[in-house]
Structure 1
Amino acid sequence: MPGSAKIRKVFEGVATRQQMFRMFDRHAQRPSRWDDDAAALYAGEWFQISETDHDYMFEILPPLWIRGAMFAMREYLTGSVTSVFFALRIDGRIRYFHGYCDLSDRASTEEMRRAIMEREAGPARAMTREERLDHIWSSTADAYRGYAGKDWPDSCCGRRVVVLYSGAGEAFWKRLDKLSDHEIAAELPVHLRHLPSTIAA
């Protein structure tokens, strides 16, 4: 899989410690959790964390390695994918990030660092449709998100699904990637609903 991971932001804003730990395993509910190599699901995901949580993760275990302003966790999540933490100077201030990198690809950490800096540089805030969907997935409690199973059409099996509510207050499941713009806006926090769209890299 070297060179194949799509680098993507999966949460808007600075994650709290609770959110950080939940996002470490965003795909825990996948039906094939114990049967497949999940490297492709995780590799390339990143989000911002606080300085306190960056330092906390540094102190949990001796890092696998330290290279300048980044370090890798000694324990691998799956295959050759592990957590890499970054302290990056962006627009004159240090910000902190977590990303999943596939260390079988020697360039993955530098590609992640460069992608984060490019995405976060500049004063304008914006979100792609995919970033909005990933934020909703990252923010939704496990009881209200999951994966389509045998009760869904074959074309939907294994796709991410979330609970929505009708105008009458009735709950129903819908594929995450099929949410309308109106449904996406309703699921996002108020402060993110009106951010402009941006073209995915």
Structure 2
Amino acid sequence: MTRHPPFRKVFYGVATREEMFRLFNHHRDDPDVDPLSGKPYSGEWFEIGATQYHFMLGLLPPLFQRSGMFGLSEYKAGDVTSVFFAIRIRGRERFFHGFCDLGDRQSPDKMRAAIIAHETGAADSMTREEKLEAIWSATHPDFKGIAGETDPGDWPAEHHGKRFVLVRGGPDMVLKLLEDLSDDEIDIRMSAIRAHHANRGGASDADPS
């Protein structure tokens, strides 16, 4: 099973309301996910807009609330719940959502610190794992899947349950495991995602294939 870093950015850019709700459940179709633990989500975070932040604040009475932070009273699973952050970074207030495991009471503060460290770091401070998560989240469902789910014969048994993406379409279609993407393939897809978010006029998935 893949080992994730404690805190990881899973979406590039500012998620719209539609994208935010999709990211709330983006592990629901992943194999070997225990829906009662919430662990696949724990530590994930992404940026949202002010409108989404205030909408979620008014949706349910918060589990807890303090300056620049509140937790959703409806748990995702186990001890994992949504925590929303309003953080001033380089003079501008920005808003974020993260899944925190409240089994560790310091988890929200640790996540806040991780977000600040990430967003004030180098221009391209995303780790390889974070880029892969961003690529997976941005890729349209028609261009990604889980190895062995539809046609087990297409993939060796040891790869069943792993995520794959379309690398090249057309008659010479090529599929590749997400974890096996080369640095060049990752850079191409990240450039496509950045361009999509810089130029988009609405809410839609990027197809970086």
Q: Distance in 2 between matches of 1:60 and 1:171?
A: 45
Please tell me whether the aligned partners of residues 35 and 77 of structure 2 are also in contact (alpha carbons under 8 angstroms): no
In structure 2, do the counterparts of structure 1 residues 153 and 70 end up closer, same or farther at CA, with 3 Å as the change threshold? Answer: same
Please tell me whether the aligned partners of residues 138 and 193 of structure 2 are also in contact (alpha carbons under 8 angstroms): no
Deviations 1:151-193 (A, max 9, x none): 4323212222222225x55434321010112322333343748
Please tell me whether the aligned partners of residues 17 and 52 of structure 2 are also in contact (alpha carbons under 8 angstroms): yes
- State the match for 1:164 in structure 2: 167
Greater CA deviation, 120-129 or 89-98?
A: 120-129
Count residues in correspondence.
188
- State the match for 1:28 in structure 2: 28
Greater CA deviation, 124-133 or 16-25?
A: 124-133
Gaps of 5+ in 2: 196-209
Please tell me whether the aligned partners of residues 118 and 126 of structure 2 are also in contact (alpha carbons under 8 angstroms): no
Q: Distance in 2 between matches of 1:153 and 1:38?
A: 29
* DSSP 3-state at the match of 1:79: coil
Alpha-carbon RMSD: 2.3
One-letter code of the match for 2:14?
V
TM-score in terms of structure 2 length: 0.80
- State the match for 2:187 in structure 1: 185
* DSSP 3-state at the match of 1:97: strand
Deviation at 1:23, TM superposition (A): 1.0
Kindly indicate whether residue 150 of structure 2 is the aligned counterpart of residue 144 of structure 1.
no
Q: List 4+ stretches of structure 1 deviating above 6 A.
A: none
Kindly indicate whether residue 15 of structure 2 is the aligned counterpart of residue 15 of structure 1.
yes
Deviation at 1:147, TM superposition (A): 2.0
Q: Distance in 2 between matches of 1:72 and 1:155?
A: 39
Deviation at 1:83, TM superposition (A): 0.6
TM-score in terms of structure 1 length: 0.83
Q: Distance in 2 between matches of 1:122 and 1:186?
A: 22
Please tell me whether the aligned partners of residues 91 and 122 of structure 1 are also in contact (alpha carbons under 8 angstroms): no
Equivalent pairs: percent with the same residue?
46
In structure 2, do the counterparts of structure 1 residues 189 and 20 end up closer, same or farther at CA, with 3 Å as the change threshold? Answer: farther
- State the match for 1:105 in structure 2: 104
Deviation at 1:17, TM superposition (A): 1.5
In structure 2, do the counterparts of structure 1 residues 170 and 28 end up closer, same or farther at CA, with 3 Å as the change threshold? Answer: farther
Of the candidates 169, 173, 176, which is equivalent to residue 174 of structure 1?
176
One-letter code of the match for 1:105?
D
